[in-house]
C-alpha cells in the first residue's frame, strides 16, 4: 500500500511541474480519489491480526503427536496394534470390526459433513466426543493455566465455564442484552472486556443460545470477528438446524476468518445424543492442532457408523421429516403457552430458534418468580413425571422454565400437568 501512495505522490508532483492549472487540478483529484479506493480496499480486505503462534500454547505447537498404528497401515494382516485377532466377545454379531482400533480421523463421516454443510474439504473438520470435547480441547491448546482467560456471554451454555475451571482458566463475562428478552451481544462491552483483559484467548458465542433459544445476529458476530481481537472466536451452533429464516449457520465463514471455529453436533436435529459426536469447523491449520492433541481413537467405530448412516441421503430425509414435525409442535406449544388457560404463565422469551422454549412462571402480581418456578419444576418432576429445566438463576432468566419440545402426546401431557400444578401453587 505504501508503495502505491509514494508512486501516486510522485506522479502528482510531476504533473505540477509539467501541466497547467486545470490539468494539475485533475491530477490532484485523481490522486486523492485513488488514495480513497486503495484505503477502502485495504480495509475491506485487511489481513486478519490472527496468528496461531500468538494464540496456541508454545508446548502445543512443539508437540510431536502420538502416532498410532492406523496412521501407518490399515489393510492386510494387521499384527501391529496388539488387537484380539479372534474378534469381539459378543453373543451376537455387530456391524463393524470391533476388535480393531477405529480410523483415527473418520474421513468417511467427514466427507458426508462436507457435503451437508457445503464446506471446502475434510481438512476443515474435527470430530470430538460431543461438543464438550471440542470446548475442552480448545481451552487446553490455547490457554496457559493460571494465566490466560476466556470470555463468555451469559446467559449461556454452562460447560464453557466448567471446562475453564477444570483447566484453571479465568472466565470473563460480557452479559447479553436481555432487555425484553432480546438476548443479543453487546459488542461494545465485549471490545472493552478484551481491551481490559488482553489474556483472553477464546470468545465463546452461542447461537442459537442455550438457554435463550435465540440466534445472535450475523452483524454482531461480524463485529467481533472484524475487530482487532487476536484470539479465537467460537460460535456454538448446536441448535442451528432449527433456525427458520435469517441468522443461521456461519460455518462457511471459516474460509474468510482464520480465527473462527464453528461447533455443531449430531445430538439435536439428528436425534443422536447417545453417540456423543461433536463437530468443529475451522481453518485446516487449527484443525490439525486439534487432531495432534486429541486422544488417538476418540470416536469409536459404532458411533462413527451410526453417524455415517445418519448423514446418508436416507438419514438426512429422516432428519428433515422429524425436524418439520418438531417445528410444527414448537409452534403449537408456543401458542398454547402464550394463551394459557389458567394464570401463572408469563412471557415466552427469546426468539425461539431452537428445539425448546423459555417461559416465565409468574406470581399473583404477574411478575417472574423464582420461588414459584422452582416449585412448579419440582412438582412436575416428582408428582407428575414431567421433567423440564429450571433456569431462573441464569442472568436475565428470572422465573424461567426451559421446556424441550416433545412429541404431540408429550406436549399435551405437559400442558395438562402444568395446568394442574399452577392451580395447586396458586
Pick the residue with more confidence: 17 or 234?
234
Count Cα neighbours of 32 within 13 Å in the Cβ-side half-sphere. Answer: 5
Mean pLDDT over the full length of the chain: 91
Residue 2 has pLDDT above 50, yes or no: no
What is the β-pairing status of strands 400-404 and 389-390? antiparallel
Average confidence (pLDDT) over 277-297:
97
The DSSP annotation for 129-178 comes to SHHHHHHHHHHHHH--TTT-EEEE-SS--THHHHHHHHTT-EEEE---B-
Averaged pLDDT for residues 211-229? 97
Residue predicted with more confidence, 44 or 261: 261
pLDDT at 35 over 80: no
Please give the average per-residue pLDDT across 7-19, as a whole number.
42
Say what the pLDDT of residue 49 is.
63
Mean pLDDT of 378-398: 98
Residue 72 pLDDT level (bands cut at 50, 70, 90): confident
In this predicted structure, the answer to whether residue 32 has a pLDDT above a threshold of 70 is no
Q: What is the DSSP string of 350-399?
A: S---SSEEEEEEB-TTS-B-HHHHHHHHHHHHHHS----EE-TTSTT-TT
DSSP string covering 259-314: TEEEEEESSSTT--GGG--EEEE--HHHHHHHHHHS-TT-S-HHHHHHHHHHTSHH
Asked if pLDDT for residue 6 goes beyond 50, the answer is no
φ, ψ dihedrals at 391, nearest 5°: -120, 15
- Give the pLDDT confidence score for residue 93 in this predicted structure: 84
To which residue does cell 406449544 refer?
333
Quote the DSSP letter at residue 44.
H
Asked if the model's pLDDT at residue 39 lies above 90, the reply is no
What are the pLDDT digits (tens) for 233-243?
A: 999 999 999 99
Predicted confidence at residue 385, as pLDDT, reads 98
Amino acid at each position: 500500500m505504501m508503495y502505491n501512495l509514494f508512486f501516486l505522490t510522485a506522479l502528482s508532483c510531476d504533473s505540477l511541474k509539467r501541466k497547467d492549472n486545470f490539468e494539475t487540478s485533475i491530477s490532484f483529484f485523481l490522486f486523492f480519489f485513488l488514495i480513497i479506493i486503495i484505503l477502502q480496499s485495504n480495509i475491506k480486505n485487511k489481513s486478519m491480526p490472527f496468528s496461531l503462534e500468538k494464540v496456541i500454547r508454545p508446548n502445543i505447537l512443539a508437540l510431536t503427536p502420538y502416532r498410532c498404528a492406523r496412521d501407518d497401515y490399515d489393510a492386510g494382516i494387521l499384527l501391529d496394534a496388539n488387537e484380539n485377532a479372534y474378534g469381539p466377545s459378543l453373543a451376537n454379531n455387530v456391524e463393524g470390526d470391533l476388535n480393531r482400533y477405529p480410523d483415527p480421523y473418520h474421513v468417511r463421516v467427514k466427507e458426508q459433513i462436507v457435503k451437508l454443510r457445503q464446506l471446502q474439504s475434510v481438512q476443515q473438520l474435527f470430530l470430538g466426543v460431543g461438543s464438550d470435547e471440542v470446548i475442552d480441547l480448545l481451552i487446553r491448546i490455547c490457554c496457559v493455566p493460571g494465566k490466560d482467560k476466556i470470555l463468555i456471554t451469559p446467559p449461556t451454555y454452562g460447560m464453557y465455564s466448567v471446562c475453564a475451571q477444570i483447566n484453571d482458566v479465568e472466565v470473563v463475562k460480557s452479559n447479553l442484552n436481555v432487555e425484553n428478552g432480546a438476548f443479543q451481544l453487546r459488542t461494545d462491552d465485549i471490545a472493552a472486556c478484551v481491551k481490559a483483559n488482553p489474556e483472553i484467548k477464546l470468545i465463546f458465542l452461542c447461537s442459537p443460545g442455550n438457554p435463550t433459544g435465540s440466534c445472535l445476529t450475523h452483524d454482531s458476530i461480524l463485529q467481533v470477528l472484524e475487530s482487532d481481537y487476536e484470539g479465537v472466536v467460537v460460535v456454538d451452533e448446536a441448535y442451528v438446524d432449527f433456525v427458520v429464516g435469517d441468522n443461521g449457520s456461519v460455518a462457511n465463514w471459516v474460509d474468510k476468518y482464520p480465527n473462527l471455529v464453528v461447533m455443531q453436533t449430531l445430538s439435536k436435529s439428528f436425534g443422536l445424543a447417545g453417540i456423543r459426536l461433536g463437530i468443529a469447523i475451522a481453518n485446516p491449520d487449527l484443525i490439525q492442532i486439534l487432531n495432534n492433541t486429541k486422544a488417538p481413537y476418540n470416536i469409536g467405530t459404532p458411533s462413527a457408523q451410526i453417524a455415517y448412516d445418519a448423514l446418508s441421503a436416507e438419514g438426512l430425509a429422516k432428519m428433515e421429516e422429524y425436524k418439520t414435525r418438531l417445528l410444527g409442535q414448537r409452534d403449537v406449544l408456543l401458542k398454547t403457552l402464550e394463551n394459557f388457560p389458567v394464570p401463572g404463565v408469563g412471557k415466552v422469551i427469546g426468539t425461539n430458534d431452537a428445539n425448546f422454549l423459555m417461559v416465565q412462571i409468574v406470581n399473583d402480581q404477574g411478575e417472574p418468580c423464582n420461588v414459584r418456578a422452582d416449585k412448579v419444576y419440582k412438582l412436575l418432576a416428582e408428582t407428575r413425571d414431567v421433567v423440564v429445566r429450571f433456569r431462573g438463576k441464569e442472568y436475565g432468566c428470572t422465573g424461567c422454565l426451559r421446556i424441550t419440545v416433545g412429541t404431540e402426546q408429550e406436549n399435551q401431557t405437559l400442558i395438562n400437568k402444568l395446568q394442574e400444578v399452577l392451580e395447586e401453587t396458586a
